[in-house]
Homo-oligomer: A and B are copies of this chain.
Amino acid sequence: MHVIIDRNRMVHDVQHVAKAVSSRTTIPILTGIKLVASQNGLTLTGSDSDLSIEAFIPAVENEQELVQIQKEGSIVLQSKYFSEIVKRLPGDTIDIQVHDQFAATIRSGSSVFTLNGLDPDEYPRLPQLKEELIFSIPQDMLRNVIRQTVFAVSTQETRPVLTGVNIETDEVGLICSATDSHRLALRKAKVEKGSEDLHFQNVVIPGKSLQELSKILEDTSDSVEIVVTENQILFKLGNLLFFSRLLEGKYPVISSMIPNQSKTSFVLKTKPLLQTLERALLLSREAKNNVINLKTISSDQVEITSTSQEVGKVTEQIDAEQFDGEELRISFNGKNIIDALKVIDSDEIRIMFTGAMSPFVIRPLDSDHYLHLFSPVRTY
């Protein structure tokens, strides 16, 4: 193999592919990035076996030569070194030449690196997916969907299926949900169907995969094509393919959890509420349970309090609007509410309670395509 590649494009694509490589893998070949040079261009692959990313750099793109192929071939180079080296090379192009014994010489400007590589034939093949269930969604919207759900996945491995975001179809499009059993984030999204009969459920994507995908997604309305199979999901972003394993297990049925009526409800301004809770959390964090108390004190004010035996107490009154229903005292995990408020783009939210011991709902006032559900905390 002998190729000369545009440095900027190489840096960009190696950085993406390296996201799939884990330094903690037990399979030595997976610490590397696979390079395959064909007449059409150069393909880079990184994988930790759960997650695989493949980037293709075409020989020519928009009349610009990106890869000059002197000789076809392939090699696997240690991601840790290769990606750092590529980033710091001084020239405009990178010349990579593979010798016997899987050694590669990398030349750029005045720099000459010789790296020990690994046998590319040992590198596992990427899954071949049956492209039956296909849909598309703009990159920026997908990024928003991930941002508004993935924070709520469980970090505990006791119920592995809860460490992922569940996606399923309804009449209109996609329903995405994440829960750690104390809070739930639900987000609906319209999609463009690629298959005529687009129906699926219990497709659970690992939260970690979505976080990595989110870093690659750009702020553009260009489409991502998504292919769903029984145990894999594939995101196609132009010349980049992002594969993730799906989580096994039955995801809980979400629709039955969401109360469809309320005993007490009012409207609050999102940002002031967030700041009040952040202040209250300064004390409750110490007690390690993040407990914050809310009490209605009139038809246009609620009181937020938090107490730490050791440190002290905080009390704050905030203005409420459109108060409806009974008086209420309730305690909750303040950090969970803060996490949700941070991803709500609306200036105002409606908060709906069904009693001091029942789950409650926060919805943005100007949108009905997402909501957050929380369990209260018993304080006695």
- Residues 290-317 of A, flagged 1 when their CB comes within 8 A of B and 0 if not, give 0000000000000000000011111111
Could you tell me the distance between the alpha carbons of A84 and B313 in the complex, rounded to whole angstroms?
Answer: 14
Interface size on A, residues (CB 8 A): 31
**Which A residues from 49 to 98 make CB contacts under 8 A with B?**
78, 81, 84-85, 88-90
Do A110 and B314 have beta carbons less than 8 Å apart?
no
Do B282 and A316 have beta carbons less than 8 Å apart?
no
A221 beta carbon closer than 8 Å to chain B: no
Complex: chain B residue closest to A111, CB-CB: B316
Do A312 and B103 have beta carbons less than 8 Å apart?
yes
| Interface segment out of the listed A1-9, A113-121, A140-148 | A113-121
Contacts of A283 in B (CB 8 A): 81, 113
Do B310 and A85 have beta carbons less than 8 Å apart?
no
Number of copies: 2
Contacts of A318 in B (CB 8 A): 110
A278 beta carbon closer than 8 Å to chain B: yes
**Which A residues from 298 to 342 make CB contacts under 8 A with B?**
310-318
Contacts of A85 in B (CB 8 A): 279, 282
Do A112 and B315 have beta carbons less than 8 Å apart?
yes
Given A85-B282, A88-B278, A88-B279, CB of A310 within 8 Å of CB of B116? yes
A275 beta carbon closer than 8 Å to chain B: yes
Do A116 and B81 have beta carbons less than 8 Å apart?
no
**Which A residues from 187 to 213 make CB contacts under 8 A with B?**
none
Contacts of A90 in B (CB 8 A): 275, 279
Do B282 and A314 have beta carbons less than 8 Å apart?
no
Task: Name the residue among A110, A282, A316 with the largest chain B CB count within 10 angstroms.
Answer: A110
Do B110 and A312 have beta carbons less than 8 Å apart?
no
Do B316 and A112 have beta carbons less than 8 Å apart?
yes
Could you tell me the distance between the alpha carbons of A283 and B312 in the complex, rounded to whole angstroms?
Answer: 53
**Which A residues from 127 to 141 make CB contacts under 8 A with B?**
none
Do B112 and A314 have beta carbons less than 8 Å apart?
yes
Given A110-B316, A110-B318, CB of A311 within 8 Å of CB of B116? yes
Contacts of A84 in B (CB 8 A): 282
**In the complex, what's the smallest C-beta–C-beta distance from A77 to chain B, in angstroms?**
9
In the complex, the 4 A-B pairs of residues with the closest C-beta atoms, listed nearest first: A115-B312, A114-B313, A112-B315, A114-B312
Name 19 extra pairs, CB < 8 A, besides A78-B311, A90-B275, A111-B316. A81-B283, A81-B311, A81-B312, A84-B282, A90-B279, A103-B312, A111-B276, A111-B279, A111-B314, A112-B315, A113-B283, A113-B312, A113-B313, A114-B312, A114-B313, A115-B311, A116-B310, A116-B311, A116-B312
